[in-house]
Structure 1
């Protein structure tokens, strides 16, 4: 089983660092619907004197806005009629870490609860913790890893905004997949991100180049599911901040251009409460493992909204792209939505549907919900997909946000496994994005129509 990273701080260690002047700022942060860290920066002594005991709060609109932080209609938990009240940031003192790229700064992640201390059930971290509780009740613990890709540019975020994100200079001018010389070109940034994340309490594996120009991946060791999701959110934010300090910009968006998109392959396995193997028996997969896979496949289309939450997410799903188009599983087969890798203690499944824009809490919660459902119902696993899944007759992954939204909203399983409140909340999130996109006039339309139509 995993052990707590030695670089993470205890509450008492944080107190000492604040008292001695080593830390003067504490970021209190939660992860919002879009997978972003939101919160506030607190003076260290105020944090020690008041927040540790009394807590801190924020407006409940933070889980009811669009990407631009505009308040929008349709959310039951927060509205003008309800007055946009507060919710409490419930500090999780197991998540205290130093952020070496920000002088004198530590971070504490948190859950969201109402002022009567009841959980905000629509919060991504709460949704994941609910599924972890179900796993524990069934006698399981869960381990996960997320493989997050990004594209790096030799420009600032401000300049990218000013030029409307057009013709940005990629940090590499050719495919640097596994290339040492290609990654050496950007190693100063990659090295700082790796070392900063290690010092922030993450078990860093390494970095490698990817296929798109300027595309890279930094990998982290498998860990307990909640730890992995927390680390994912911190890493994603810190990587952008460190890039900005280098005068560069990087994006995790699922599909930046017509070349390869940014994936976030999610690896997941179960263990027993004492760490015993669950997915493997002697020299073969266990029945429990097969049922778990079957459950993920059975819920794949219904839960795609939680794996691919944005309009842009669906641009990844194309034949021959290494992003899946069919709901199928295979042994070490990268053309399938679910790829099985490893054996014995390393046996795990890889969900290849999520992109770099996925919310890790929601993706992992969906996988656990589906897999546990498969175990509970004893679902039978369909035959393995061999060969090219892109050319198979298997069911297709939704190809648009609208299709995924409808599958989720109409899913009896989603309501059963996640709850009606969660289904309505994230259906509305999709509706907000669809309405915004439907109202937009794109560069593609302008180029095709301005003169010639």
Structure 2
């Protein structure tokens, strides 16, 4: 995975300014990715952005990193509360992320880091969490590259219709398994093509689209990049795909487990290079993995259970972990073995590992940060790599990842490795986010309970 120059379809600041002055662009979306992996921010009028915001950014309430998915203010966060006055944080523009949003007329986007008013980083921000691990890696002379593979389900219903139906009884765009089916994807091609072309124009390098197993399930793949760039692109793509589906009168979901059939995965491929661009995972002389590669994979395996919260952040995430489902449950690695949580693929410059644990609901910054922190743990401790698992990991009897959010929360909370890698403040923040989700879920009366208990109990 060589070092890649900036994508030429991204905009320079001068280009953005020229397009605003000519009237081609009148709106600039300034956005960051929140704890739930959503883009949050503001739409700024183009001339105001040039005159007032370009030089110093803009501000937003710090509660944006202390709310649940419903945007309820949640007590118990150290960085944001009624007692602290719910003050502001700065949206610090990353001018390397300027891009067109061609599906929205006259619109560009800039992604942001979050800082406090004194300029210090908001350490709990997902982008900052990843940047911290990138900095640790850089000190050792390495760079990380990643690609994320997001699956989604598409429905004929609009988002408004889906809401009114309580998301039940929706009509998928395919009525049978369309995994690799050309016919099955052709039926959805107007939408898929629009998403692909839009994302290409927005600065992503599109590889392919294919059908998947669940009814109406599809995947669009993009080329790997530097890990922060990949996470940025992932966030923009996920948001844009929903907006384009809406424009087509359809809806789509990335939730990990929508129904009893196959869930939505987000496999993450990751590799290292030296800062000079050299290959470090593969020995060209022996034609085999390097010791560094083995230590790296061993570290990810050693932390897989403790870091599962970063890979599966929601109650629903754990519904996807089912034996024989292509969603992994076993702490094991294998060569091109899709039953294992960690799958090793490629050779030479393409040698990389695939983390098959995350679902489509994952926050890419946090998941990749977890993989780097785990790999660094393996390097630092020079952990030996256990023998690969050959055969069916589901039947291996090896340890499994936690099967509930509560178990994952407890493992992350008690992880000395996590606290050393991310800091107590970051760990406590995301443990509290898990506690918030668990409290909301525990208080909910589900349709499953109503069906079983209303008349018969």
Runs of 4+ residues deviating >4 angstroms = none
* Separation in structure 1 between the aligned mates of residue 155 and residue 77 of structure 2, nearest angstrom: 37
1:101 aligned partner: 103
Deviation of residue 54 (structure 1)?
3.0
2:426 alignment partner, one of 422, 427, 430: 422
Residues 307-346 of structure 1: CA distance to partner in whole angstroms, max 9, x if unpaired?
0000000001010000011100000000000000000000
2:82 aligned partner: 80
2:442 aligned partner: 438
2:227 aligned partner: 225
2:309 aligned partner: 305
Deviation of residue 206 (structure 1)?
1.0
Residues 281-300 of structure 1: CA distance to partner in whole angstroms, max 9, x if unpaired?
02000000000000000100
In 1, are the aligned partners of 2:92 and 2:113 still within 8 Å (CA)?
yes
Q: Does 2:268 correspond to 1:279?
A: no
1:132 aligned partner: 134
Deviation of residue 377 (structure 1)?
1.2
Deviation of residue 55 (structure 1)?
1.8
1:111 aligned partner: 113
1:368 aligned partner: 372
* Separation in structure 2 between the aligned mates of residue 8 and residue 55 of structure 1, nearest angstrom: 19
* Separation in structure 2 between the aligned mates of residue 31 and residue 169 of structure 1, nearest angstrom: 30
1:340 alignment partner, one of 340, 344, 348: 344
Q: Does 2:250 correspond to 1:259?
A: no
1:386 alignment partner, one of 376, 379, 390: 390
1:247 alignment partner, one of 229, 246, 249: 249
Q: Where does the alignment leave 5 or more consecutive residues of structure 1 unmatched?
A: none
1:12-161 aligned within 5 A: 12-161=14-163
Deviation of residue 372 (structure 1)?
1.0
Deviation of residue 422 (structure 1)?
0.6
Deviation of residue 358 (structure 1)?
0.1
SS of the aligned residue for 2:242 comes to helix
1:178 aligned partner: 180
SS of the aligned residue for 2:337 comes to coil
* Separation in structure 2 between the aligned mates of residue 372 and residue 268 of structure 1, nearest angstrom: 13
SS of the aligned residue for 1:41 comes to strand
SS of the aligned residue for 2:131 comes to helix
Residues 177-225 of structure 1: CA distance to partner in whole angstroms, max 9, x if unpaired?
0000000000000000000000000000010000000000000001111
SS of the aligned residue for 1:217 comes to strand
Residues 60-87 of structure 1: CA distance to partner in whole angstroms, max 9, x if unpaired?
0000000000001110000000000000
* Separation in structure 1 between the aligned mates of residue 386 and residue 397 of structure 2, nearest angstrom: 13
In 1, are the aligned partners of 2:37 and 2:362 still within 8 Å (CA)?
yes
Deviation of residue 250 (structure 1)?
0.1
* Separation in structure 2 between the aligned mates of residue 3 and residue 248 of structure 1, nearest angstrom: 36
* Separation in structure 2 between the aligned mates of residue 268 and residue 231 of structure 1, nearest angstrom: 15
Q: Where does the alignment leave 5 or more consecutive residues of structure 2 unmatched?
A: none
* Separation in structure 2 between the aligned mates of residue 54 and residue 276 of structure 1, nearest angstrom: 37
1:309-324 aligned within 5 A: 309-324=313-328
Give the TM-score taking structure 1 as reference length: 1.00
* Separation in structure 2 between the aligned mates of residue 257 and residue 234 of structure 1, nearest angstrom: 26
Residues 8-52 of structure 1: CA distance to partner in whole angstroms, max 9, x if unpaired?
000010000000000000000000000000000000000000001
* Separation in structure 1 between the aligned mates of residue 148 and residue 410 of structure 2, nearest angstrom: 27
* Separation in structure 1 between the aligned mates of residue 17 and residue 56 of structure 2, nearest angstrom: 16
* Separation in structure 1 between the aligned mates of residue 30 and residue 92 of structure 2, nearest angstrom: 9
Give the TM-score taking structure 2 as reference length: 0.99
In 1, are the aligned partners of 2:301 and 2:332 still within 8 Å (CA)?
yes
1:377 aligned partner: 381
Deviation of residue 3 (structure 1)?
1.9
SS of the aligned residue for 2:295 comes to helix
* Separation in structure 2 between the aligned mates of residue 31 and residue 165 of structure 1, nearest angstrom: 25
| Count of residue pairs the alignment pairs up | 453
Deviation of residue 395 (structure 1)?
1.0
Deviation of residue 59 (structure 1)?
0.1
Question: In angstroms, what is the RMSD of aligned CA positions?
Answer: 0.5
